[in-house]
Structure 1
């Protein structure tokens, strides 16, 4: 069973030479538009009950258009959408709000359009007002609200009743950090109760912590649908891709996908993690001093060479990362055939779990100017607790705890 089925959906925006031509097209007459631009084409996917899907892609990929079609605010040019359940959507900021009405009045209006009765709305109103936390502004005209205040009211009313399907666009990004945390806590609670989630965000951590799947849109087409970490790695590789570079994806022995991209002027030839005994290690202890050794070979002359690396947890969230641009260790004018051994020493102050190393060979502080090689899943290793006090979390930060009894 699916709660949402998208089948061969496409959307074209058309311009006509006159309004008469547009009317004629509506009545089925064979009038060709003067201009036709397809922003979505052949979009198909199904979402099961309780599943959480992240939609990612560069600006202009068609993400917001797709959400508008799913919510019914925009009609598809081709294909069909089947929805089984009530949708709550937070799309464009302030969408559907009247700036001359107060926050309270807009809540009544928006909730009424969602299909709730006057009695249901008045019962929920105190909770909506409390969740929005905008104080006396709740009874002031919305035209004097900041964008963050509009977001608070929009989210509070859209999530006042748990929907079968919750759709969230990038609008949440305008809120303050406190309200973002509060909103994501409510989204997680809905997920635990069985709500299906469809979210558009450029926030990798949000997608990977909330979602089971990610769908990557590029120029209005679905080009990848799968594990969020793998899809984000592929997405980052596409962003970094420059002329004559390639994006390669291969399956590792553990079933995960390794994504490599770059123009190839320099490449990582070898990479290994060494434990405190100087041995190559797949398992290291919490807090153990280790060395990450990376052998790099130059294949074509470049002006500057920078090595970057990051260590990610099993969800793909970066635990730590830096590069030799920031450490003032840039290599200038390396020549073809030159080889370099980078030794990165650090304590494995991570929580128990599996981790991966991502490497980047670039020309400066970012991969967006020149990407010689970007490699995800370059190395996998595990951290185990051998001799530390029992703890939970993603990092080891053992405290010294003292206490004394206070005399009455």
Structure 2
């Protein structure tokens, strides 16, 4: 089993004020350095244990790709070091190392040897690689005629032809079609179950939360936060909103979960509750029963246009259902300080048994990135139990009417 240990890792590039400064520094070393250092990463330390899956997230330019290159050894660090145990397979830049004039098959042989496989091993694995990539006759066509999705199919297929001890995947998977993304993540999950250590970069919240045990957030070339994937993804989303001069707060609930609240505070959720069929506040509701989600919003500043949205998530933080009053064409205009609005969302609780949470957003359109008055995660937690329905599996109550015909 593999492991990754990163200690005080840093990467800086030299910046010269003029085109001849580099030459002058080389010819006249006694005159001192003529460059300044541009730090891309500084003092990054973390440990990925054997069999653990860790997601790496951050905005563009945070240093994610540079960090992966340092970990895989394609770039040398300025400070610190990396230690990896076991065989490593890495899928970084799309089609990295592929020669455009060679065929897909020829590139498979080259890429496979770079991964440490022999020609005989690649030949034995070639039928499986072709079957997984599913590009047909294109395997014997030059890579220059491939689409980006086809390159990704071949690159992923050869990188995962053998189960590695450590699998490192950059955002190349986001290029492929939905079918192949599902297929790829199924293989990644299978490797995980077999003990592969995983480090994955993705902006896909569902991918991070469904695959990873832990998430690491990079911001400005530094390790900003590490923890539960749901907590880190919520903080990451709030951090994006913070770029618009909004506040981010996190607090720990009695359950141990971390609640994230961000926004300008010009409007806030004053109260939120779930009501059952009898009209009583409820923390536990029955599968398929009629429910009302009631949200009271208090306005603290003039707001030209106000929209309330909510998202129901499962215990892993994956979205089950979400909507808002913008999508329903029910926004409120010209809100004044001191006003209080009560929203009631009525629906059947067609969710499977389990624990769920509700996140709320008070915005001006359909996204918290424009005017985020308040975004509140874990605003409400409730449990769904199956009290009256036949047993079923899954996260949704989709009870069918069944017709059977026999000849």
In structure 1, what is the equivalent of residue 369 of structure 2?
A: 368
After TM superposition, the score normalised by the length of structure 1 is 0.96
1:245 Cα shift? 2.4
RMSD: 1.7
**Take 1:108 and 1:404, find their aligned partners in 2: how far apart are those partners?**
53
Q: For residues 22 and 358 of structure 1, do their structure 2 counterparts lie closer, same or farther at Cα, with a shift above 3 Å needed?
A: farther
1:145 aligns with 2:152: no
Contact 1:293 1:341 in 2 (8 A): yes
After superposition, the C-alpha distances for 1:33-65 in whole angstroms (9 at most, x for unaligned) are 534211111111001000000001111111111
After superposition, the C-alpha distances for 1:125-161 in whole angstroms (9 at most, x for unaligned) are 1111111111111111111111111111100110011
In structure 1, what is the equivalent of residue 15 of structure 2?
A: 15
2:105 is paired with a residue whose SS is helix
1:404 aligns with 2:393: no
In structure 2, what is the equivalent of residue 105 of structure 1?
A: 106
In structure 2, what is the equivalent of residue 292 of structure 1?
A: 293
Q: Which runs of 5+ in 2 are unaligned?
A: none
Contact 1:241 1:371 in 2 (8 A): no
In structure 2, what is the equivalent of residue 189 of structure 1?
A: 190
Deviation larger for 175-184 or 370-379: 175-184
Q: For residues 29 and 256 of structure 1, do their structure 2 counterparts lie closer, same or farther at Cα, with a shift above 3 Å needed?
A: farther
2:335 is paired with a residue whose SS is coil
**Take 2:25 and 2:112, find their aligned partners in 1: how far apart are those partners?**
34
1:303 is paired with a residue whose SS is strand
1:404 Cα shift? 3.2
**Take 1:180 and 1:2, find their aligned partners in 2: how far apart are those partners?**
24
After TM superposition, the score normalised by the length of structure 2 is 0.96
Q: For residues 32 and 2 of structure 1, do their structure 2 counterparts lie closer, same or farther at Cα, with a shift above 3 Å needed?
A: farther
Contact 2:14 2:35 in 1 (8 A): yes
In structure 2, what is the equivalent of residue 349 of structure 1?
A: 350
Deviation larger for 259-268 or 132-141: 132-141
Contact 1:21 1:31 in 2 (8 A): no
In structure 2, what is the equivalent of residue 171 of structure 1?
A: 172
Q: For residues 182 and 242 of structure 1, do their structure 2 counterparts lie closer, same or farther at Cα, with a shift above 3 Å needed?
A: closer
In structure 1, what is the equivalent of residue 90 of structure 2?
A: 89
After superposition, the C-alpha distances for 1:195-219 in whole angstroms (9 at most, x for unaligned) are 0011000101111110000001111
1:394 Cα shift? 1.0
Structure 1 segment 301-320 matched on structure 2, within 5 A = 301-320=302-321
Contact 2:25 2:33 in 1 (8 A): no
1:322 Cα shift? 0.8
1:333 is paired with a residue whose SS is strand
**Take 1:81 and 1:369, find their aligned partners in 2: how far apart are those partners?**
40
In structure 1, what is the equivalent of residue 6 of structure 2?
A: 6
After superposition, the C-alpha distances for 1:335-362 in whole angstroms (9 at most, x for unaligned) are 1111111111111100110000000111
**Take 1:30 and 1:129, find their aligned partners in 2: how far apart are those partners?**
59
1:180 Cα shift? 1.0
1:244 Cα shift? 4.6
**Take 1:2 and 1:32, find their aligned partners in 2: how far apart are those partners?**
41
Contact 1:265 1:298 in 2 (8 A): yes
Q: For residues 21 and 346 of structure 1, do their structure 2 counterparts lie closer, same or farther at Cα, with a shift above 3 Å needed?
A: farther
1:289 Cα shift? 0.5
